[in-house]
Homo-oligomer: A and B are copies of this chain.
């Protein structure tokens, strides 16, 4: 039997990616699509690549009949999402792809997002949606907070190293390369083909990137003491994909061992043999994350590289993975699509 699914905020890239994934999902069925600015339009008018699908037209969120919905994905903007979710039926399962429920501490949320949290009462029940590390809580959750796409990539590279105590917690640098779709379908000059083509653009450097809030929360929790990493993000001339190059101090083979052990049973996380590194394109369009570790010529230093597709494993694929668990399905249902190369 199919689960009836609503997507709120379906007109953005993560909304379209949810539709793409659910299109071949064995037990999910899209019952409602909502999007403010595009309400009244056919989804195929907003995203012609979906024209082969029989989809409901876009409506306003308030016009969705949630009575028959089993689970809603919220791909709304930060701030709006918390407001909307606060007004949804209490028995509706929700996977939120915004940033609103990622940060447990409302004060920290306000620091990073520049405004008070819109629904602080819901924060305690929200489960952080990094499936591989919160599986049990997600199975039991009503509200799951999808992680930041960069935050997911960095955590896949670093959580096991922090947990295993094999790296220096005070000297972690993430050099991040992120493709343009991570900025959403927002028409801004620096995201234009004419400008980003043949370009690399540093942004939010020096500790300003909001996903640091997630790193701080999660890494500190694992370590049992404050951990504050450094992160240098760069926009790269590509549509999809994230590369985290983590420069860490610790024994490289111990780091590789910790990653291999942590992910040995994971369907979506692949650790390459020691000394091999993944390329970004190897996971494009898929729910996989590839990881590699090399030792440096400088003893006691290692480089960890993690790659994933920001729209899939970094957001919408992760969201479906979490929804699978919440709905009692196989975690991998609908998500074993092979990466697209070349």
Q: A240-B342, A247-B247 are in contact. Are A282 and B49 (CB under 8 A)?
A: yes
Copies of the chain in the assembly:
4
A52 at the interface (CB under 8 A from B): yes
Q: Which of A75-83, A99-107, A190-198 contacts B (4 or more CB under 8 A)?
A: A190-198
A156 at the interface (CB under 8 A from B): no
* Minimum distance in angstroms from A248 CB to a CB of chain B: 10
Residues from chain B with a CB closer than 8 A to the CB of A31 are: none
How far, in whole Å, are A120 and B188 apart by their CA atoms in the complex?
36
Residues from chain B with a CB closer than 8 A to the CB of A51 are: 270, 282, 290
How far, in whole Å, are A48 and B284 apart by their CA atoms in the complex?
12
Residues 217-249 of A, flagged 1 when their CB comes within 8 A of B and 0 if not, give: 000000000001010101011111101010100
Choice from B189, B207, B292 contacting A297 with Cβ under 8 Å:
B207
Tell me if B238 and A202 are in contact (CB < 8 A).
no
Which among A177, A212, A228, A283 has the greatest number of chain B C-beta atoms within 10 A? A177
Residues from chain B with a CB closer than 8 A to the CB of A243 are: 200, 202, 234
9 new A-B contacts, CB < 8 A, other than A20-B338, A23-B337, A194-B239, are: A19-B338, A24-B338, A177-B236, A185-B342, A198-B281, A200-B243, A200-B281, A202-B278, A206-B275
Chain A contact residues, CB within 8 Å of chain B: 13, 16, 19-20, 23-24, 47-53, 171, 173, 175, 177, 179-181, 183, 185, 187-189, 191-202, 205-208, 212, 228, 230, 232, 234, 236-241, 243, 245, 247, 267-268, 270, 272, 275, 277-286, 288, 290, 292, 294-298, 301, 303, 305, 307, 336-342
11 contacting pairs across A/B (C-beta < 8 A):
A23-B336, A48-B279, A49-B339, A50-B339, A52-B336, A185-B195, A202-B277, A230-B297, A234-B245, A240-B342, A285-B285
